[in-house]
Structure 1
Amino acid sequence: MTAVNVDEIRARVDEDWQRIVDLLVRKTALQSISAEGITGERMRRSAEFVAEELRLVGIDAKVAQAHNADGTPGAWEVIGSRVVDPEAPTVLLYAHHDVQPVPDPSVWDTEPFVATEVGERMFGRGVADDGGGIAIHSGALKALGDDLGVNVKVFIEGEEEMGSPSFIPFIEEHRDEFAADVIVVADSGNWSADIPSLTTSLRGNTTLDVHVKVLEHPVHSGQYGGPILDANTLAAMLIASMYDENGDMRVPGVDAEEPVGGLQRDLDEATVREDAGIVPSYRLAGTGSIAARMWTKPSVTVIGFDAHPVEGSFNVIAHETTFRLSLRTAPNQEPERAQRALADYLVAHAPFGCEVSVTPGENGMGWAMDPNAEATRDALEAMEEAFGCAPVNKGEGGSIPFIPELQRIFPDAQVLVTGPEDPKANAHSPNESISLPGLRKNIVTEALLLAKLAR
């Protein structure tokens, strides 16, 4: 470190702790649900609140409204900076201030928008995703104070939970306010509340609509059934053909990867089964580590299927059907290439010569960190010092499209994905919560990281 050691940082975080907790309490009460209108007054108040909190820890922060690609008003964003030395490295700190809706408050054990401490956890919508990220940045900047040795830029987004439609236009409009040597995205989490992690990879995503046709019109199943298979059955055969006998995808051109940065610890099957609610008789599909199957190997899911409901069904052979596929791609594969490969495969493997056509959908690139980057090594060291144990890297099976977009726009920046969550956080679900001891250690980690990056 440059001017302070880990014990001093811990002491400063402890001294500031009540302010950090109060920040989470007040932020939760704002109910900043972007799904209810990203341009609305509630979202503007949320952004103003975050900007004021950043000003309290030395950031020259302001609120700006983004615009969508078509020029319509977009989200309320928070941007800010603090320059300590024009020659020093610059670090961009990212989080988001919008939160998920609460469709049914009755399934919560506490009031969703009243931050409530139960034991060592705080419960409330957005306390982890991503109020915790805002708290980490605020706490780390306060802990360093005048000892901050890097220039800092801050971006707190207002529409992450809505897919960030105005994200790219906003960055393009404010490019100078985003350019940095290192980008820290505090929107992920740790292996557990006690074991830190860098998120090493994110899968990409692509969608396809597949249309299967066997007849020009429906016909009676008693009269023609046998030589003519219905479109739903043919679609099921086509879907099943994408997998081998082990449940691995076998589509040429759809890539698979091993965990980025190596696999220190595999996911526990019993935990995966319990968390997902898997029925006891089901055997997990695929081969290799569970981590690779969930983080870096491709997976395809039927997320929509046009078929007649059971209620009111009658004896006809369905002449055509359409189903939608969501393909999660390996972190380093271009989703457009995987999309084309899957589309070509489906057309070429039409069962019994039925007609198969494919309409491509949207694509989102995956992301993989550079395990050899200097910032990566600094982050891992900071985590071990703050948590008192070696970090366990982990990937994410889902996609966060803005991260690869940031990397694309700023190709020379080193990107680190951290965050306040842990397996018990229940982000996007009822009873969302954050580990308060874990949050404290995350704040110490980021303060140590910023100090190391100053070197």
Structure 2
Amino acid sequence: LDDDKFEKWGGIAPTELTWNQDRTRAYGRGAADDLSGVISIGMAIDALLRAIESDPENLSKNKLQALPCNIKILYETEEECGSHSLAEQISQNQSFFNDVDCVVITDVINPATGYPGLTTSLRGITQLEVSVDASATAKLDAQTALYKLLATLIREDHSLAIDAIAKADIPVTKEEQTSFSYVPTTVNFLRKSAGLLPETHLTVPAEVTSILEAQLRKSTINVRPGHRVAGSIIFGRAGARICFNSCSDSDALQLKLLEFFKKTNPFNLKITLRRIKTDSEDISFDLILTSSTKDPHSGMNGGPVPVAELQLARMIDHLVKSDGTLAPEIQKICNTTSEKSVIKTHSLFVEEDESAKLFENRGAKAMVEIRIAPGNQEKQAEIELKTYLQEKLHKDYEMKIKFDRGAAPWITPITHPVFPIALEALKMGFDRKACIFGCGGSIPFVAKLTDAIPGTQPLCLGPYDPDSRMHEPGESLSMADLLGCTKSILHLIARIDKAF
């Protein structure tokens, strides 16, 4: 999202295509995801028709007989919202789909600019909108209770605490770990792609295989403030206003709070604690945590990247107990023995410059998103998440859960005879050896298509690169990847008869 001046896009409307100086990269909203895939397929088909001397504007059935295989093109426009009608559409058009052997899907990312990857796995997603209300007997306000609930979703090492989902992940084999080591990337590049601050720690060992395993094959959780409209991103900044209604020494309290939060900051996020003047007599502070200079995509980066909103929740969970009492060192500064909670929290809208403001709607609400790894089932994961939240919520609070979206994960073996042909085609198209890769994002289309057309082998090819900044301001398309993918499709079609 951006303002009406398009400052995040350099003052140019994101619907206007622009180029870098050497025209190796084109910029615009959706340039990579998924205009690149549409263009790549279109260019490949256009080249094929010209190769058999058939006018694309006036097709000749006789000349089409020269094609190495039948080609059908499907534009599926519901991918970003779950591909809900895909199975029904396939069922209603069986004559179109009943002779399909292989499907080329161009909606995945390559491991590096100009380096091809053949994607064999995708994470799914389950996302819920969670709201909490406090009863008259509750010791905490609703937002603080929500933070404490969210804090239970991860363990100390930031891994998913919902065992039923985490343990369903298909373990990565030694062969797959070895293949990850061949991916042409580095720890520094992976950190840079997520925009991590230099001091921010990863949630996994700082080695390529561990990072890729966490990004591609582990179920991971992300939380966003429920009143902030956003797509599939991990906010690089999170904030809460903490209001104390009983403390005589605000300076001492601020120093002690900062010391306390630093001790509960295992991933070394940047901490900012500002005293805020309000109309009430409360002593208020804005606590801002920053892990990244940008808001990375939760599918591409979720796993090894600490989620600021969850780390914020854990800090508040450590600060105040369920009975309303504070951590001993803070309780001592506040000098209170009251059974009633002495603090109240509010979620903050934090800007890129770390300025912050309260949401107009002060209700306690969060978007809870899990990228579910292969091995999980979409509906079962949704049930497990709901059950977990309900079990962890204290009886003095009421919770409303609203389903937002979901998608099934997908994984395929590489035993089908089309795979070596696809790898050969990618090598020829990009002029570089391809690696077996995966995607941490979710493409509902793939699993639903596989279920709806049994026996069909999907091939997921990448027309864009990690620098594309998909779903972010400054989204772009790499010409090396667009053209490499296009040429790979041509080489694949030319050799497809070897597999079928």
TM-score bin, normalised by smaller chain: 0.5 to 0.7
SS at match of 1:248: coil
2:194 paired residue number: 276
Q: CA deviation at 1:332?
A: 3.1
1:8 paired residue number: none
2:497 paired residue number: 454
SS at match of 1:450: helix
Q: CA deviation at 1:301?
A: 1.7
SS at match of 1:155: coil
Q: Does 1:256 align with 2:172?
A: no
- After superposition, the C-alpha distances for 1:261-307 in whole angstroms (9 at most, x for unaligned) are 72423563322322222233321224671112112211112223479
2:34 paired residue number: 130
Contact 2:169-2:373 within 8 A present in 1 as well: yes
Q: List aligned pairs for 1:182-201, cutoff 5 A.
A: 182-201=102-121
2:487 paired residue number: 444
Q: Distance in 2 between matches of 1:243 and 1:429?
A: 26
2:476 paired residue number: 433
Q: CA deviation at 1:163?
A: 5.1
2:143 paired residue number: 232
Q: Distance in 1 between matches of 2:31 and 2:113?
A: 14
**CA 1:207 to 1:312, structure 2 compared with 1: closer, same or farther past 3 Å?**
farther
Contact 1:195-1:389 within 8 A present in 2 as well: yes
2:101 paired residue number: 181
SS at match of 2:466: coil
CA RMSD of aligned residues (A): 3.5
Q: Does 1:242 align with 2:153?
A: yes
2:123 paired residue number: 203
Greater Cα offset, 118-127 or 439-448: 118-127
Q: CA deviation at 1:417?
A: 1.0
Q: Does 1:289 align with 2:210?
A: yes
1:17 paired residue number: none
SS at match of 2:74: strand
- After superposition, the C-alpha distances for 1:42-76 in whole angstroms (9 at most, x for unaligned) are xxxxxxxxxxxxxxxxxxxxxxxxxxxxxxxxxxx
Q: CA deviation at 1:421?
A: 0.3
1:151 paired residue number: 70
SS at match of 1:453: helix
Q: CA deviation at 1:256?
A: 2.8
- After superposition, the C-alpha distances for 1:242-261 in whole angstroms (9 at most, x for unaligned) are 32221211322113344587
Q: Normalising by structure 2, what TM-score?
A: 0.60
Q: Normalising by structure 1, what TM-score?
A: 0.65
Percent of paired sites with the same residue:
27
SS at match of 1:394: strand
Contact 1:382-1:446 within 8 A present in 2 as well: yes
1:367 equivalent among 410, 418, 430: 410
Q: Distance in 2 between matches of 1:429 and 1:305?
A: 19
Q: CA deviation at 1:120?
A: 4.7
**CA 1:359 to 1:434, structure 2 compared with 1: closer, same or farther past 3 Å?**
closer
Letter in 1 for 2:9: W
Q: Distance in 2 between matches of 1:279 and 1:206?
A: 28
The number of residue pairs the alignment matches comes to 346
Q: List aligned pairs for 1:24-43, cutoff 5 A.
A: none
Between the two structures, name the one with larger relative contact order (CA 8 Å, sep ≥ 6): 2
SS at match of 1:128: helix
Contact 1:196-1:392 within 8 A present in 2 as well: yes
Q: Distance in 1 between matches of 2:483 and 2:68?
A: 21
Greater Cα offset, 271-280 or 318-327: 318-327
Q: CA deviation at 1:214?
A: 5.0
Letter in 2 for 1:184: V
Q: Does 1:343 align with 2:386?
A: yes
1:108 paired residue number: 9
1:398 equivalent among 436, 441, 445: 441
Q: Distance in 2 between matches of 1:132 and 1:280?
A: 32
Q: CA deviation at 1:124?
A: 3.6
Q: Distance in 1 between matches of 2:3 and 2:172?
A: 34
1:139 equivalent among 27, 39, 43: 43
**CA 1:207 to 1:441, structure 2 compared with 1: closer, same or farther past 3 Å?**
closer
SS at match of 1:289: helix
Letter in 2 for 1:172: S
Q: Distance in 1 between matches of 2:497 and 2:489?
A: 12
**CA 1:408 to 1:323, structure 2 compared with 1: closer, same or farther past 3 Å?**
same
Greater Cα offset, 301-310 or 439-448: 301-310
Q: CA deviation at 1:313?
A: 7.1
Q: CA deviation at 1:129?
A: 3.2
Contact 1:167-1:402 within 8 A present in 2 as well: yes
Q: CA deviation at 1:189?
A: 2.8
Greater Cα offset, 102-111 or 252-261: 102-111
1:302 equivalent among 223, 227, 237: 223
**CA 1:322 to 1:199, structure 2 compared with 1: closer, same or farther past 3 Å?**
same
Q: CA deviation at 1:369?
A: 2.7
Greater Cα offset, 179-188 or 390-399: 390-399
**CA 1:197 to 1:120, structure 2 compared with 1: closer, same or farther past 3 Å?**
farther
1:27 paired residue number: none
1:327 paired residue number: 370
Q: CA deviation at 1:149?
A: 1.2
Q: List aligned pairs for 1:405-424, cutoff 5 A.
A: 405-424=448-467
Letter in 2 for 1:154: I
Letter in 2 for 1:153: K
Q: Distance in 1 between matches of 2:131 and 2:476?
A: 42
Contact 2:131-2:366 within 8 A present in 1 as well: yes
Letter in 2 for 1:403: V
Unmatched runs of 5 consecutive residues or more in structure 1:
1-99, 219-227
Q: Distance in 2 between matches of 1:367 and 1:141?
A: 27
SS at match of 2:176: coil
Q: Distance in 2 between matches of 1:158 and 1:364?
A: 15
**CA 1:383 to 1:343, structure 2 compared with 1: closer, same or farther past 3 Å?**
same
**CA 1:277 to 1:136, structure 2 compared with 1: closer, same or farther past 3 Å?**
closer
SS at match of 1:398: coil
Unmatched runs of 5 consecutive residues or more in structure 2:
53-65, 228-238, 243-277, 283-341, 346-362
Q: Distance in 1 between matches of 2:468 and 2:32?
A: 7
Q: Distance in 2 between matches of 1:159 and 1:234?
A: 36
Letter in 2 for 1:359: I
Q: CA deviation at 1:414?
A: 0.3
Q: List aligned pairs for 1:20-59, cutoff 5 A.
A: none
2:180 paired residue number: 265
Q: Distance in 1 between matches of 2:18 and 2:3?
A: 14
